[in-house]
Amino acid sequence: MGRSLRSRTLAINDGDQGESGGALVEFALTLPIMAMLILSAAELGMVAYASIQVTNASRAAAQYGAQNTSSAADTTGMQRAAANEASLVSGLTTTVSVSGICLSGNACTVNDNGSGPTCLNTDCQTNVNDHIETILTVTSSASFSPAARLNISGVGVLPSSFNLKHVTVQKCLNC
């Protein structure tokens, strides 16, 4: 009970000899690995976000075109709807294909009247309830390049670019 404060302090510090700086060395060794993992996760998150934007762009274009007969023939309007939906994705391309099928399953004769392919009313005459169903196929695509190219010994952790693509097929019910 008679030990002085100085002797108690020395006794506590005696066990730390040879350990000083060990945590700093471990931190220095694990920091690059942790940083690479965090950056890779962030890049994959950005790729996932861009992929969702391309999907939403394709769907928005199909929804715009499925409103009525005139919007189904408005390819520029569908491309504009896609571009508005994915405004943060650069290099977005959207292609639109309009086709038709008879309710009975018979294929239409595709004609181009200057505003896009259409079906003739005479194409679906097999029975009284048969009518034309317009089908829109919208394909949106973009290429996404990660902001940082992570390499380990010259081998890329992530690809240099990701090709993102989505196809939406929609019937135009009011056409």
pLDDT tens per residue, range 74-124: 999 999 999 999 988 889 999 998 887 777 777 666 665 554 456 676 777
Q: How far apart are CA 20 and CA 26, in angstroms?
A: 12
What does the pLDDT read at residue 163? Answer: 93
pTM for this predicted structure: 0.72
Q: How far apart are CA 86 and CA 140, in angstroms?
A: 10
Domain boundaries, the chain: 24-172
Supply 71's token pair: 């919007």
pLDDT tens per residue, range 35-62: 888 888 888 888 899 999 999 999 999 9
